[in-house]
Amino acid sequence: MALTDRARFIGAHDDQAFLFTGAEGLVPTTAIAASETYYRHKTDPVSGRLRHAEVGARLRQQLASLHGGTSEDIALLGNASQGISAIYALIDWQPGDNIVLVSSDLEFPSVGLPARKLVAGGDVEVRVVNHSDWIVTPDDVLGAVDERTRLVFASHVSYRTGLRLDIETIGAALRDTGAIFAVDATQSLGVISVPATSCDFVVSTSGKWMLGPYGVGPLYWNRERLPNVEPADIGWYSVVDDLANPYDLKPDAGRFEVGSLDWPAIYALNAGLDVIEEIGVDAIEAHVVKLGGDLLDQLREFDLDVITPEDPALRAGIVSWLDDAAPATAASLAEHGVYVTGSSGRIRAAFHLYNDERDVERLVTALSRIQRSS
C-alpha cells in the first residue's frame, strides 16, 4: 500500500497510476493554503518580511536535515541549473585543467553544458566516464581523475536510467585531491538518503521528489570540506550589509543568493517537505526500491531493453527501458490511465510515497494491452 493517502495530493486519482515524479511530483493540498499565507504576508507592511524570513529559515532547516548538514549550509537558488553554473564559476580554469563527467547517455544535460562552453573557449579538457551495461562504478569515475582535475560533477541518480551512483565512496577518495566534487541530487533528494556531507556541493530542484512547485533550487555547500569560496555573482542579498563599503559576503551559503528569493515557491515547498518529514526518507526509500523491484520482476515477461540496474543498492525510485517510440508509448499508456515519462529514447516509471502495488499492476496490464494491439 502507499505510505500516505493519495487524497492529500492535488490531481491524484485512485484509478490512475501517477508514475511521472521524475518529471513532475505531486504537490500536497496544503500547498494551496501555504501559498495563500504567502500573499497575506506579502501585503503586511508591518511584519510581512519578518514572516518571509521565518518561513525561509524553516525551509533551510528542513533541507539541512535532508542533507545531513545545518541550515547555514543551504542556499535557496532558483533551480539546479543555476547552482551548477555557480559551481563551475568558482574555479579559476587554466589550460591543461580537466573536468570529469559521466557519459551523456546517463547524465542530465545541465551538468555538462558549462563544460562544453569551457572547452569551446579554451584548453580545458572534459573527461567522460562511460558506462558498462548501464553501470558506472566509483573506480570508473576515480580512474579518470589526476592532478589536473579541478571538478568532478555527477548526478546521484541518473535521470535517464535510475542508476544510483556511490557518491560516498567517490567523495571520500576525492577529499584530498584538490578537485571539487559536486553532485546533482535532483532525482534523489526527498526519496532516498543523500550522503551530502561526502560532497563539496549538492544541487537539486524542488518540483520533483520534494513534492513542491518549481522555483527553489537548493544548493548545499559543505563548508567543512571547502571552507573558502567566493561566488562569481554578487548582489544585495549575498552580502551582510548592502550599504557597507567595503562589503562582506555572508559567512554562510547565503552568499550564493544574489537577490530576492522565490517566496511563493518557498512557502509551498514547506508543505511538501512536511509530508516527507512525516513519513521519513528511510521509509520512502525502502518503499520505492521495493516497488521498483516488483516492476523489474514483471518486466521480464516483456521484450524490453531495461536499463535500470536490478541491484537495489544501485537504484532509487526510477525504472527505465529503451523505446525508440517513447513519446508514442507514453501517450498510449496515458490512455490507460498510466502516466510515465516518454523522452530521451526511453520510458521512465517513477515511484514515490503515494504509489503502491496497484500502480505496478496498472502499468504491466497497460503494457500487455498495448503490445497485444500493436
Task: Please tell me the chain's helix, strand, coil percentages from 3-state DSSP, rounded to the nearest 5.
Answer: 40, 20, 45
What local confidence, expressed as pLDDT, does residue 371 receive? Answer: 86
What local confidence, expressed as pLDDT, does residue 120 receive? Answer: 82
Residue 130 CA to residue 359 CA, distance in Å, equals 33
pLDDT tens digit sequence for 263-275:
999 999 999 999 9
What local confidence, expressed as pLDDT, does residue 46 receive? Answer: 93
Q: Which three cell numbers stand for residue 207?
A: 518540483
Q: For the chain, which ranges sit under pLDDT 70?
A: 374
524542488: which residue's cell?
206
Residue 247 CA to residue 238 CA, distance in Å, equals 10
Residue 273 CA to residue 190 CA, distance in Å, equals 8
Residue 322 CA to residue 343 CA, distance in Å, equals 10
Q: For the chain, count helices (H), then strands (E).
A: 10, 13
Q: Which amino acid is at 312?
A: P
Q: Which three cell numbers stand for residue 343?
A: 523522452
Contact 56, 76 (CB under 8 A): yes
Q: What are the structural domains, with CATH classification, of the chain?
A: 31-275 (3.40.640.10), 280-373 (3.90.1150.10)
Q: What is the pTM of this model?
A: 0.96
What local confidence, expressed as pLDDT, does residue 373 receive? Answer: 80
Alpha-helical runs (H) found in the chain: 30-42, 48-67, 80-88, 109-121, 138-142, 167-174, 263-279, 281-299, 326-335, 357-373
Query: Phi/psi at 221 (nearest 5 deg)?
Result: -115, 115
